[in-house]
Amino acid sequence: MSRLTRPTGSVIPSGCTWLPSRAVAVHPDEREVELDTAERVGYLVLVLAPGLEPDLAAVPGLAEAMDAGWATTANLSSRAEDTWTAIRGMTRGRVVFTIPPEPAPCGGTALKPLFLACDHWQEEGALADIDVHLVTPYSSLLDLPFADSRLAPHVEGLGITVRHGATVAPLDHAGRTVTLRTGAGEQVLDDVERAFVVPHYQAPGWLAPVAGADTGGLVDVDPMTLAHRRLPHVWSLGDVADVQTRPSGGALRRQVDVLADNIRRHRLGESLRHYDGYTIIPITVDRRRLMLAEFDRTGAPQPTTSLIDLTVPRRSLWAFDRYLEPVVYFTALLKGRV
């Protein structure tokens, strides 16, 4: 993890004043944000992008199972390295992987540890002795036909049992059971050796004054313009904004461009640009190939290039993601150059 992180102070753009505190409340009537130091900071324009928070309590028994070492996930920085250790330590038994329900930070990338694990077990000659289950809330893998058609052969070839339209309900690490909640009721998977469970996510509770009545706690913005529906000086983007698309880093990159321009246009009284819901899910299908699923808020493909089909798993895409993307992230993307 130390190779994938930087001190916050080292990436703050020049010309910005960094307040190294957490926001704990927003007071739109006073146009102030309250910090965990009890200080209040006034604003002319407020852009909210705090991200989603993992909600371990939404899956009863998950926190206890993680503390016991029976469950883990690569989606939490504190558990990421434990996930690979657990994968390498398995040689037989039943194992469960999950895709989280929306909203979730790039939920489809939960397929990455699944495919990497199966690739490792196959290379070690252990895959035939491991009963792999994938729990997905969708009727297909991701409910993206153009992407599912590419992923299905990998899933079938690895002998993975897919549990469609399901989410994880209680976990019992002592009894080694995983209960699945489906439209038809509950199913129990027993004798589970390991559970790789991505937690559910939720918007921070302090966003309640700017959340919509039917957004599940997300900031109530116009999904096209990213402007708040009720508060003219408030904007939002990223995972906590109700932009009606699946959250991802690639979506945020597109949103930043639209939002920054729209703030300028709003000041000048010009018409606002529209964000079409573009988002992207990078999926590593094995330890040397990766594919990209790019689509809009309707689920229709929206490729950024017509030169090659990026939904075809490629070694070149994997190499870019593994070696070049971290460099691009810190040197260009964080500075708004990509």
Alpha-carbon torsion angle 104, 258, 47, 13, nearest 10: 100
**pTM for this model (two decimals):** 0.94
- The predicted model gives 245-270 an average pLDDT of 95
Q: Decide if pLDDT at 172 tops 90.
A: yes
Tell me the one-letter amino acid at 102. Answer: E
pLDDT recorded at residue 333: 82
First to last CA, the chain: 24
pLDDT tens column, 77-108: 899 889 999 999 999 999 999 999 999 998 99
Q: Decide if pLDDT at 243 tops 80.
A: yes
Give residue for tokens 């606002």: 272
Greater pLDDT, 9 or 118:
118
Domains 2-52+204-243 and 60-198 share a fold: yes
Q: Decide if pLDDT at 332 tops 90.
A: no
Q: Which CATH architecture has domain 60-198?
A: 3-Layer(bba) Sandwich (3.50)
Q: Which CATH architecture has domain 2-52+204-243?
A: 3-Layer(bba) Sandwich (3.50)
Tell me the one-letter amino acid at 43. Answer: Y
pLDDT recorded at residue 2: 83
Q: How sure is the predictor about 129, in pLDDT bands with cuts at 50, 70 and 90?
A: very high
pLDDT tens column, 32-90: 999 999 999 999 999 999 999 999 999 999 999 999 999 999 999 899 889 999 999 99
Residue 72 makes CB contacts below 8 A (sequence gap 6+) with 66, 79, 82, 83, 86, 194, 195, 196, 197
- The predicted model gives 267-291 an average pLDDT of 96
Q: How many CB atoms lie within 10 A of CB 88?
A: 12
Residue 67 makes CB contacts below 8 A (sequence gap 6+) with none
pLDDT recorded at residue 331: 86
pLDDT recorded at residue 28: 96
Proportion of the chain above pLDDT 90, given as a percent: 86
Q: How sure is the predictor about 3, in pLDDT bands with cuts at 50, 70 and 90?
A: confident
- The predicted model gives 292-301 an average pLDDT of 97
Q: Decide if pLDDT at 11 tops 90.
A: no
Greater pLDDT, 313 or 13:
313
Round to whole Å and give the CA distance between 141 and 149.
9
- Main-chain dihedrals φ then ψ at residue 229, nearest 5 degrees: -70, -30
Give residue for tokens 């920085």: 77
Round to whole Å and give the CA distance between 161 and 182.
15
Proportion of the chain above pLDDT 70, given as a percent: 100
Q: How sure is the predictor about 337, in pLDDT bands with cuts at 50, 70 and 90?
A: confident
pLDDT recorded at residue 239: 96
Closest CA relative to residue 133, chosen from 78, 102, 88, 94: 94
Q: Helix 111-124 crosses helix 80-89 at what angle (to 10 degrees)?
A: 30
Residue ranges covered by each domain of the chain: 2-52+204-243, 60-198
Q: Decide if pLDDT at 215 tops 80.
A: yes
pLDDT recorded at residue 115: 97
Average pLDDT, the chain: 95
